[in-house]
Amino acid sequence: MKRNYADNKNKSKNIKRKRIIISSIIVGLFVIIGGAVIAQKFSSSKQAVQAADNNSVQNQDKDSSQNSNDNSVDKESDNSVENVAYLEKYIDQQIKGQKPDGVDGKKVAYLTFDDGPSETVTPQILDILKSKNVNATFFLIGKYVDKDEASKDLVKREISEGNAIGIHSYSHDYSYLFPNGKINLGNCMSDFDKTDKALKGVLGQDFSTRAIRFPGGQETWSKKDPQGAEAVDKALHEKDWHQIDWNALSGDAESGHKDAAQLTQEAIKTIGNREKALILMHDTYGKEETAKALPGIIDYLKQQGYEFKTIK
**CATH number assigned to the domain comprising residue 271:** 3.20.20.370
pLDDT digits (tens, 9 = 90+) for 198-256: 999 999 999 999 999 999 998 899 999 999 999 999 999 999 999 999 999 999 998 88
pLDDT digits (tens, 9 = 90+) for 138-147: 999 999 999 9
The answer to whether the CB of 123 falls within 8 A of the CB of 97 is no
Are 58 and 134 in the same domain?
no
Are 147 and 64 in the same domain?
no
Task: Write a three-state SS string for 193-260.
Answer: HHHHHHHHHHHCCCCCCCEECCCCCHHHHHHHCHHHHHHHHHHHHHCCCEECCCCEECCCCCCCCCCH
Q: Based on the residue annotation, tell me whether 282 is a catalytic residue of this protein.
A: yes
Are 100 and 41 in the same domain?
no
- Catalytic entry in 114, 115, 196, 225: 114
- The mean of the pLDDT values for the chain is 84
The answer to whether the CB of 53 falls within 8 A of the CB of 65 is no
Are 73 and 88 in the same domain?
no
Are 128 and 212 in the same domain?
yes
Are 1 and 141 in the same domain?
no
Q: Which of 79, 112, 131 is the last residue of a domain?
A: 79
C-alpha span between 219 and 280 (Å, rounded): 14
Residues 37-58, mean pLDDT to the nearest whole number: 44
| Of the candidates 155, 132, 121, the residue with the CA atom closest to the CA atom of residue 291 | 121
Are 42 and 181 in the same domain?
no
User: Which residues have CB under 8 Å from 64's CB, separation 6+?
Assistant: none
Q: What domain range includes position 291? A: 81-311
- Catalytic entry in 168, 172, 242, 282: 282
How many domains does the structure of the chain reveal? 2
DSSP assignment of 8-36 equals HHHHHHHHHHHHHHHHHHHHHHHHHHHHH
pLDDT digits (tens, 9 = 90+) for 166-214: 999 999 999 999 999 999 999 999 999 999 999 999 999 999 999 999 9
Please give the model's pTM, rounded to 2 decimal places.
0.76
Does an H or E element contain 40, and which?
Answer: helix 2-79
Are 3 and 131 in the same domain?
no
Task: Categorize the per-residue pLDDT at 29 as very low, low, confident or very high, splitting at 50, 70 and 90.
Answer: low
Angle at 82 between CA 77 and CA 84, to 5 degrees: 125
Are 122 and 2 in the same domain?
no
C-alpha span between 242 and 183 (Å, rounded): 16
Model confidence at 305: pLDDT above 70? yes
Are 132 and 250 in the same domain?
yes
Q: Which of 79, 109, 126 is the last residue of a domain?
A: 79
Q: Which of 79, 112, 139 is the last residue of a domain?
A: 79
Are 58 and 93 in the same domain?
no
C-alpha span between 113 and 281 (Å, rounded): 5
Are 72 and 88 in the same domain?
no
Please, which residues bridge with residue 111 across strands?
279
